[in-house]
């Protein structure tokens, strides 16, 4: 495996960062998870655009142009001989002191990893996931904006631990007001009486790339899709539920807190969206 670090490629065993890197010490950095299919990188420009927005929000100078990062991503995939897989693009604040001051980190560090990934077993896309509500809440936007895809994922990790302890495969996360925000690593969508709904990003959810594709598919199918605050009651009483994310793609959820969603099986609209999403990713994207 070849890993890109700051303009050079290293074997996995030799790919190292400094123990003084602020990404390691303080979670001070940003990332993007990117998928590629059939020799094409899906929504690469959108991912890089979001990376630079995250960098701007936290006053992080990446030190590379968007074009240079795109080429680094593509070249990393090429050097690993992959046509289908997953890229983890990480930008840390770089090496600095043991203090918090980010201005003592003279240069950001850019890391690109290209590998394969399977977040859930294929049977889960047919049968659906079990969810459990987590007591761990999403941070308030005033504390850490959900729009910043930062390296601070301990909140999500602890929620995932809760979900697993409850016998579930994914955790439903609420915001401080008690409204549904998202899952530990995915956006959530409900289908109720033929209308699809999803929490607004202001509720504490990431404005996901795959989430945006759902809006496009809904428009194509002529199915209403609205952003609205939702409580667990709306989740419990929905006809269908599905989750979206770069790694998860589009996957049904059929049980939440021991309550069946609809009849406890993936619904027809969910299955249509999964099929259409797979068609889109198989035929579009930036050629590797």
Our measurement of the distance from residue 249's CA atom to the centroid of its chain's CA atoms, rounded to an integer in Å, reads 9
pLDDT for residue 225: 98
Q: Above 90 in pLDDT, residue 118?
A: no
pLDDT for residue 141: 85
- Beta-bridged to residue 34, according to DSSP, are 87
Contact 56, 148 (CB under 8 A): no
Q: Which helix (H) or strand (E) holds 114?
A: strand 109-115
CATH of domain 122-283: 3.20.10.10
CATH 3.30.470.10 is the classification of domain 2-115: yes
List the chain domain ranges.
Answer: 2-115, 122-283
Q: Above 90 in pLDDT, residue 7?
A: yes
What average pLDDT does this structure show over 59-66? 98
Helix extents (H) in the chain: 22-26, 44-57, 66-79, 122-127, 154-165, 209-221, 232-236, 268-283
What average pLDDT does this structure show over 261-277? 98
pLDDT for residue 79: 98
pLDDT one-digit tens code per residue, 28-39: 999 999 999 999
pLDDT one-digit tens code per residue, 121-161: 899 999 999 999 999 999 988 888 889 999 999 999 999 99
pTM for this predicted structure: 0.95
Phi (first) and psi of residue 31, to 5 degrees: -155, 165
The residues assigned a catalytic role are 149
pLDDT one-digit tens code per residue, 167-204: 999 999 999 999 999 999 999 999 999 999 999 999 99
Average pLDDT, the chain: 97
Residues near 264 by Cβ (< 8 Å), separated by ≥ 6?
128, 254, 255
Q: How many CB atoms lie within 10 A of CB 233?
A: 9
Compute the distance between CA of residue 235 and CA of residue 256 in angstroms, rounded to an integer: 8
Tokens 């936290």 identify what position? 58
State the pairing for strand pair 170-174/129-133: parallel
With a pLDDT cut of 70, the percent of the chain lying above it is 100
Using alpha carbons, select from 132, 249, 133, 231 the residue that is nearest to residue 190.
Answer: 231
3-state secondary structure of 252: strand
pLDDT one-digit tens code per residue, 216-228: 999 999 999 999 9
């Amino acid at each position: 495996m070849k890993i890109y670090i700051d303009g050079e490629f290293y074997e996995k065993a030799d790919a190292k960062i400094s123990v003084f890197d602020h990404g390691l010490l303080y979670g001070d950095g940003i990332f993007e998870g990117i998928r590629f299919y059939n020799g094409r990188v899906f929504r690469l420009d959108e991912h890089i655009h979001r990376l630079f927005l995250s960098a701007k929000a936290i006053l992080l100078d990446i030190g590379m142009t968007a074009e240079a990062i795109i080429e680094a991503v593509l070249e990393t995939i090429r050097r690993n001989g992959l046509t289908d897989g997953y890229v983890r693009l990480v930008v840390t604040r770089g090496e600095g002191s043991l203090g918090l001051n980010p201005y003592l980190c003279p240069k950001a560090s850019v890391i690109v990893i290209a590998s394969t990934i399977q977040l859930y077993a294929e049977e889960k896309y047919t049968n659906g996931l079990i969810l459990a509500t987590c007591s761990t809440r999403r941070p308030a936007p005033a504390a850490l904006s959900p729009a910043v895809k930062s390296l601070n994922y301990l909140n999500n990790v602890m929620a995932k631990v809760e979900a697993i302890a409850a016998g579930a495969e994914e955790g439903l996360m609420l915001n401080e007001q008690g409204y549904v925000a998202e899952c530990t690593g995915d956006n959530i969508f409900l289908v109720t009486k033929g209308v699809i709904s999803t929490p607004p990003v202001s509720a504490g959810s990431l404005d996901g790339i795959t989430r945006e594709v759902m809006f496009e598919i809904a428009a194509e199918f002529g199915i209403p899709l609205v952003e609205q605050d939702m409580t667990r009651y709306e989740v419990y009483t929905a006809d269908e539920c599905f989750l979206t994310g770069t790694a998860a793609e589009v996957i049904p959820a059929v049980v939440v807190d021991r309550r069946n969603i609809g009849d406890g099986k993936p619904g027809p609209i969910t299955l249509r969206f999964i099929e259409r999403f797979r068609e889109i990713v198989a035929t579009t994207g930036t050629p590797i």
